[in-house]
Amino acid sequence: MMQPTEFPFTLPHGYLDAEGNLHREGVMRLSTAYDEIAPLRDPRVQANPGYLVLILLARVITQLGTLQQLNPKMMEGLFSADLVYLQDLYQRINQNGHSRLAVMCPHCQGEFEVEPVPVGE
């Protein structure tokens, strides 16, 4: 079985673009080593290390609603709850390789995978 490299998500609130369109459905890909290293050279990150997450998310989110190209400036416009959600998703898929957990039924001993539900959903 191939390991998935892209993960769909739905933002709790959604990104509101300049035209007033709300974008909630998106796709995040697994990060590469370069995704994590490249932003460290960015002057915005050197001036404010907190900016790293915005650059990183802009690199790994491949789609958000009808938007195909994201940039750090757009990430600045996310609602705080959406930023926290995306940071959590990033951690889960990049630390575990996916956001699903392997579990066993205590009654029948059948094995299957479940998708954990983030707090607040």
**Can you give the pLDDT at residue 4?**
85
**Can you give the pLDDT at residue 101?**
56
- φ, ψ for residue 10, nearest 5 deg: -130, 120
**Can you give the pLDDT at residue 115?**
56
Give the strands of the sheet with 6-16, arranged side by side. 6-16, 22-29, 61-64
**Can you give the pLDDT at residue 33?**
94
- φ, ψ for residue 48, nearest 5 deg: -150, 100
**Can you give the pLDDT at residue 68?**
82
**Can you give the pLDDT at residue 121?**
44
* Encoded tokens for 18: 């300049």
| pTM of the complete model | 0.76
**Can you give the pLDDT at residue 119?**
46
Can you list the residues of the chain whose pLDDT is less than 50? 97, 119-121
**Domain-wise residue ranges, the chain:** 6-114
| Strand ranges, E, within the chain | 6-16, 22-29, 61-64, 101-104, 111-114
- Residues for the chain: how many in total? 121
